[in-house]
């Protein structure tokens, strides 16, 4: 469900004080992305390409006229998100920096640090339940989709208090499950809803390093709406990896 529109197409300016536009960006590439190793909430560093992707994303925000409008750059407290956000903040002169731990990646528990190929069966058992709309099963020693959605949506609300235009640097898994929650209007899921065209597109969409979702939060109504999911940022998007672990 990668939109071909630009980040500014069809986007009305948020109403002063009542709405906040969130530019939700995935961190740049890491060496574990290259290896296909599950990062989860383990701390890993950006690769050289990951740093270049973050710089490219910042240049794209400048080119679109958004960098100067950014009031804050908020990230998870994991190194790969912190460094991506720090690089982007260099082109956002008015943007303050802060960390929100609730923006961390899915906690994959006992399978963190292992190669995807080593734990494919265990991972798919849990993931298949989530795909059917059963968000309660959790990874051993880790989280359920319900856990991820609850803390992720709470963290996006917290980030929205930082200004009318906020860059949020987070992780692929959290981006995907918060997108599902927003399209469900934060209501309970079901196999029928998860099988809909919109949900199927979101679940199959590529979430590449430094891709951007644009979400507007209406503070008065306490409601999110999307202006575009998982859009590629910058000229390095073609080399970015889709690996939400």
Is residue 25 one of the residues assigned to a domain? yes
Q: How far apart are CA 1 and CA 202, in angstroms?
A: 6
Active site residue 206: no
Point out the residues of the chain with pLDDT beneath 50: 1-5, 9-10
Specify the pLDDT at position 245. Answer: 55
Q: Rounded to the nearest 10 degrees, what angle do helices 197-204 and 172-183 cross at?
A: 170
- Supply the pLDDT for residue 224: 98
User: Residue 133 domain-assigned?
Assistant: no
Q: Which of 19, 83, 105, 183 is catalytic?
A: 105
Residue 223 inside a domain? The answer is: yes
pLDDT of residue 189: 96
Q: State the pLDDT at residue 240.
A: 56
> What gap in Å lies between CA 97 and CA 84, rounded to an integer?
12
Could you tell me what percent of the chain has a pLDDT over 70?
89
Spatial distance between the Cα atoms of 60 and 32, rounded to a whole number of angstroms? 25
Domain membership flag for residue 228? yes
**Which pLDDT tens digit goes with each residue over 144-164?**
999 999 999 999 999 999 999
CATH of the domain at 87: 3.40.50.1240
Decide if 135 is inside a domain: no
Given the residues 27, 171, 183, 227, the one annotated as active site? 27
CA distance 12 to 142: 39
124 is catalytic: no
Q: 35: domain range?
A: 19-106+147-239
Distance between CA atoms of residues 182 and 153, nearest Å: 9
- Establish how many alpha carbons lie within 13 A of residue 123's alpha carbon, considering only the half-sphere containing its beta carbon: 19
pTM across the whole model: 0.93
The answer as to whether 102 is a domain residue is yes
pLDDT at 234: 72
The number of distinct structural domains making up the chain is 1
Q: For residue 221, is it within any domain?
A: yes
């Amino acid at each position: 469900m990668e939109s071909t529109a630009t980040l500014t197409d069809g986007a009305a300016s948020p109403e002063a004080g009542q709405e906040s536009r969130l530019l939700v960006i995935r961190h740049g590439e890491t060496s574990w992305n290259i290896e296909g190793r599950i990062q989860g909430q383990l701390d890993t560093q950006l690769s050289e390409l990951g740093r270049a992707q973050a710089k490219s994303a910042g240049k794209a925000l400048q080119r679109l006229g958004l960098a100067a409008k950014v009031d804050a750059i908020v990230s998870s407290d994991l190194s790969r998100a912190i460094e991506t956000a720090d690089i982007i903040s260099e082109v956002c002169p008015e943007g303050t920096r802060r960390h929100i731990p609730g923006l961390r990646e899915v906690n994959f528990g006992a399978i963190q640090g292992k190669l995807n190929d080593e734990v494919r069966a265990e991972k798919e058992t849990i993931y298949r339940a989530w795909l059917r709309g059963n968000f309660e099963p959790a990874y051993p020693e880790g989280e359920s989709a319900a856990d991820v959605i609850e803390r992720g949506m709470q963290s996006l609300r917290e980030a929205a208090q930082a200004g009318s235009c906020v860059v949020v640097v987070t992780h692929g898994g959290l981006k995907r499950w918060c997108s599902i929650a927003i399209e469900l209007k934060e209501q309970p899921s079901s196999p029928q809803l998860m099988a809909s065209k919109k949900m199927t597109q979101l679940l199959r969409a590529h979430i590449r390093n430094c891709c951007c979702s644009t979400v507007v939060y209406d503070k008065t109504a306490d409601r999110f709406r999307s202006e575009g999911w998982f859009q590629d940022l910058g000229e390095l998007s073609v080399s970015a990896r889709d690996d939400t672990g």
